[in-house]
Structure 1
């Protein structure tokens, strides 16, 4: 069995590729406009469908709420590139849906980041030290989110 090595918290960073696409948007205000213009209508529709058609049974209001938070989180990931800023679990579910639209996700990543923005689903699951790292990184997400948007990330309440 392979031993799982968890880096100490002070060594944790998201690895940003040295070479980025020429399609990467340089100006952060333009990045924000680009993200805000992404049409997530089809994804939100899917999330509101029943599980029998691979939906998540979200209400339309919940889908709208997490679309806003996901777009804000994408912007944070670009603005604070290299920092570990894990998403809220429902933002993560929205992200999974975006990733599944492979052509759109690839094109959006190319413009926002200039590279394919990978998802690492095991952060926090590799033992107590990793769980502590995730908790600390989540607090960093909350701090950055509040500083940028004036509020914390909260669970959606119907």
Structure 2
């Protein structure tokens, strides 16, 4: 192993150690909630969060590459983003910057659609190369977003925090999933 490979491996290990400290229990709680979340089982939630963590690993390893998540990973990402304070803190810890979500990929014409499909295929390939498994969902954009008439019926179940309350985040509901996620999460990004 070259010196450069050892340095990269050490940097990846630092990232993995940081990733293991991120508490996604509140996100699991929301995903599992039968009325206000998605009603996912604990097993599905653990699998989705483990794959989301692997997805974050790809973003760390390839910061200049667009990655397209599966629907399952995207659902976790959306719920993480919606807890704006936590998402911002977690991004700073893991990446030293905010990781933005770009919801318009594939909507800007035929060439953009083709670029999106290519990026999704590349994401699948790189994910499998690093983790030995492919993300679970197939490419089916029709299921990613609610249809317009369904959106009108769905009120968002969130609010903003006043600036004075932004530090008061200890009252998030949570589900203890850390041990199970760590058991599923790959030990190394290689």
Q: Structure 1 length normalisation: TM-score? A: 0.76
How far, CA to CA, are the matches of 1:38 and 1:110 in structure 2?
Answer: 11
In structure 1, what is the equivalent of residue 70 of structure 2?
A: 88
Map residues 40-79 of structure 1 onto 2, 5 A cutoff: 40-51=24-35, 54-79=36-61
Assess if the C-alpha contact under 8 Å between 2:32 and 2:45 holds in 1. yes
Assess if the C-alpha contact under 8 Å between 1:109 and 1:117 holds in 2. yes
- For residue 17 of structure 2, give the secondary structure of its aligned residue in structure 1: helix
**Residue 131 (1) aligns with residue 104 (2):** no
Gaps of 5+ in 1: 1-25
Gaps of 5+ in 2: 1-9, 139-190
**CA radius of gyration, larger in:** 2
**Deviation (angstroms), 1:79:** 0.4
Map residues 2-151 of structure 1 onto 2, 5 A cutoff: 27-51=11-35, 54-151=36-133
Assess if the C-alpha contact under 8 Å between 1:36 and 1:71 holds in 2. no
**Deviation (angstroms), 1:66:** 0.4
Q: Structure 2 length normalisation: TM-score? A: 0.64
In structure 2, what is the equivalent of residue 17 of structure 1?
A: none
How far, CA to CA, are the matches of 1:50 and 1:124 in structure 2?
Answer: 31
- Where relative contact order (Cα < 8 A, 6+ residues apart) is larger, the structure is 2
How many residues get paired? 129
Deviation per residue, 1:34-68 (Å, 9 max, x gap): 112312112111111123xx211111111111000
- For residue 27 of structure 2, give the secondary structure of its aligned residue in structure 1: helix
